[in-house]
Amino acid sequence: MPNLIRLLALCPLLCVFFSYASTNAIPLKYNISASGSHYPYYTNNPKKPGILPEIIEKVLDGANIEASHVDLPTKRITKYLQNEVIDFDVISLEWLPKSERNDPHYVFSEPLIYATEMIVTLPQNANNWQSADNLKGKNVGTVLGYYYYDDNTFERVDFPSEKELMTALSRNRVEAALVGKLTALYWAKQLDMRIAFGAQHSHGFLTIRLLSKHKNLLPKINQAIKNLHSQGYIKNIEDKYILNTGSLN
């Protein structure tokens, strides 16, 4: 009888313990670093890591999911996800060819933030790039390992990161590049170069792309994202970084 009483006394404590235990028995692995210079989304600065690291950490915390970030070269991220070495990344469906947007290997979360990708060029060349159709058959600056939904229509000229791509643009190694709008503004400011925007190449929400085998975690992830939006947390994080991206003026 005394043992039974002690066991009953422990039950509330056990319930509290399990309520705080991770939803997933095995920690997930993920990558959101992209090229490592994808400001403002990822900065490679531990003190101010970028929009995505700050948001993803809060989403995982809110969803009670244990996970760790894995640093990978950009060109390996997709392969590692396909081979299930990592469990999720962050992507915009607008970056993918339409044939890949319903891949049953993955499930996608609620929207995180908008991302706009532009044709970026130097001011004197801006008139040549006011339509996305102008990319066809041309050499276009891109980032190694990145998705571009129409890259079968132009010749990719890959660079290791946005910083190196923008540097190449400033030196006329390429006339046009595909770069996120905020990222282009930031690196133009850092590199003290003048740029112009041509046509918009893609625009859509960034979402978490999760392996389908973990789809049971998606409702908790989505609820955490909704909570962060409703609390204004995601907007505040965006504002914190976007103020430092610069402008064309």
pLDDT single digits (tens) 28-63: 999 999 998 899 999 989 899 999 999 999 999 999
Of 49, 95, 87, nearest in space to 70 by CA: 87
**90 beta partners:** 208
Q: Whole-number mean pLDDT of the chain?
A: 90
Identity of the residue numbered 20: Y
What's the CA gap between 212 and 216, in Å, rounded? 9
Q: Is the pLDDT of residue 243 over 80?
A: no
Residue 17, burial from CB neighbour count under 10 angstroms (0-12, 13-18, 19+): exposed
* pLDDT exceeds 70 at position 15: no
Q: What is the pLDDT of residue 247?
A: 66
CA dist 4 → 8, 9, 191, 210 (Å): 6, 9, 71, 44
Domains present along the chain, CATH in parentheses: 30-37+45-114+206-242 (3.40.190.10), 115-203 (3.40.190.10)
Q: Inform me whether the pLDDT recorded for 143 exceeds 50.
A: yes
pTM of the model: 0.87
* Torsion angles phi and psi, residue 80, rounded to 5: -65, -35
Interval 206-216 mean pLDDT: 98
Q: Which is it for strands 113-121 and 196-211: parallel, antiparallel or unpaired?
A: antiparallel
